[in-house]
Amino acid sequence: MHKKLFIPGPVEVSADVLAQMATPMIGHRSKNASELQHRISDKLRQVFYTQEEILLSTSSGSGLMEGAVRSCTLKKAVVFSVGAFGNRWHEMAVANNVAADLFEVEWGQATTAEMVDRALSTGEYDLLTVTHNETSTGLMNPVEEIAEVVKKYPEVVFCLDAVSSMGGTKIEVDKLGVDICITSTQKALGLPPGLSICSFSAKAVERAKQVPNRGYYLDLLSLYDYIKKKDYQYPSTPSLSHMFALDYQLDKMLEEGLDNRFRRHQEMAELVRSWGRKYFELFADERYLSNTLTNMKNTRAIDVADLNKKLGERGFQISNGYGKLKDKTFRIAHMAECTIGDLEELLENINDILKL
């Protein structure tokens, strides 16, 4: 039996979107391939609220995160972490010989504008990474406030990990001054895993030109240059199947209306939060709760693996805690094409299994 996924990626993919993955191949050097990429970029610019260039990478989101920190750090990167994915960005910098400092807060807490201001004011850094939505803790950082202080430091390239939030909540990339905003297909965009997407600003382009060793496959400047020179094609063969599905799914998203889509996510989040507060406790700071997933403290000491096994028999799957939170929390994702009705059905089944 198929288990309906309520995990923070991969998410449930609609049957019609999945079917697009079976579209017959076209040559990746054809005019049709260029047109496909043009359509995708134009629609993604609407979702990202940007006029800047859009790059696709046939890798998961981690690929573009690694590419960003390596391609655009000249002096030193400052990595703000609020959980597992923030820490990963620092590990990537270190693994690529990119000088980087890590500022980590206690899990469940947010990165604040003051912290960012204090670090950037040292003048040591020329690239900043922030996690928009931390999937390990269920926290959404106050990115508007952070963006305000980053504007005081025009030499800093601002990278934002929006892997688990883009498409589920409004992120106005240009207004925020984000230079590289990264997401991947298997989360709030509602597609299968395997493709990642970023915006790439003119400032990021200029910076990358100064960086000598940007790697090869994940060199964002080479992707950018190729797109510009070869009419929106890629240096290596992209996942055309994902591109067919993305082109189609973006039409569906724009048809739903972005504001409607964001409102639906907000309502789903509120439903799961109120259930979580009633029967458990929420893990993250109440002021910064995520709109795309909710992380519950396991205050009833339930056996999460056993709950998931029983849910599985009924055709549902949720997620345990991430890493060190494995048995301490459990997570319910509410993103992409998920509906209030889906969540009500899930929560009724959890209540029934746990006799709540």
Residues that bind ligand PLP (CB under 6 A): 8-9, 60-62, 85, 131, 133-135, 161, 163-164, 184
Report the residue number, 184 or 222, with the smaller CB distance to ligand PLP.
184
Estimate to the nearest angstrom the gap between the alpha carbon of 239 and the chain centroid.
19
DSSP assignment letter at 278: H
- Cα 219 to Cα 139: distance, rounded to the nearest angstrom: 30
Nearer to ligand PLP, 61 or 276 (CB): 61
Q: Which is nearer to ligand PLP, 73 or 141 (CB)?
A: 141
Whole-angstrom Cα distance, residue 254 to residue 259?
9
329 sits in which H/E element = strand 329-333
Cis peptide before 24 (omega within 30 of 0): no
Query: Distance between the two ends of the chain, CA-based, in angstroms?
Result: 26
Instruction: Return phi, psi of residue 198, to 5°.
Output: -145, 155
| Closest CB to ligand PLP among residues 73, 184 | 184
Q: Name which of 62 and 96 has its Cβ closer to ligand PLP.
A: 62
Q: How far is the CB of 64 from ligand PLP (least distance, A)?
A: 9
Cβ 128 to ligand PLP, closest distance in Å? 16
- Tokens at 337, concatenated: 């094409």
Q: How far is the CB of 185 from ligand PLP (least distance, A)?
A: 8
Q: How many whole angstroms separate alpha carbon 7 and alpha carbon 9?
A: 6
Q: Taking the alpha carbons of 56, 58, 60, 62 in that order, is the dihedral positive or negative?
A: negative
For 94, the token pair is: 């270190």
d(CA 159, CA 69): 8
For ligand PLP, the closer of residues 137 and 233 by Cβ is 137
**Minimal distance, residue 227 CB to ligand PLP, in Å:** 21
Stated as kind and residue range, the H or E segment containing 225 is helix 220-229
* Cβ at position 186, least distance to ligand PLP in Å: 6
The β-bridge relationship of strands 319-320 and 329-333 is: antiparallel
* Cβ pair 167, 189 in contact under 8 A: yes
In whole angstroms, the minimum distance from the beta carbon of 132 to ligand PLP comes to 7
Nearer to ligand PLP, 61 or 168 (CB): 61
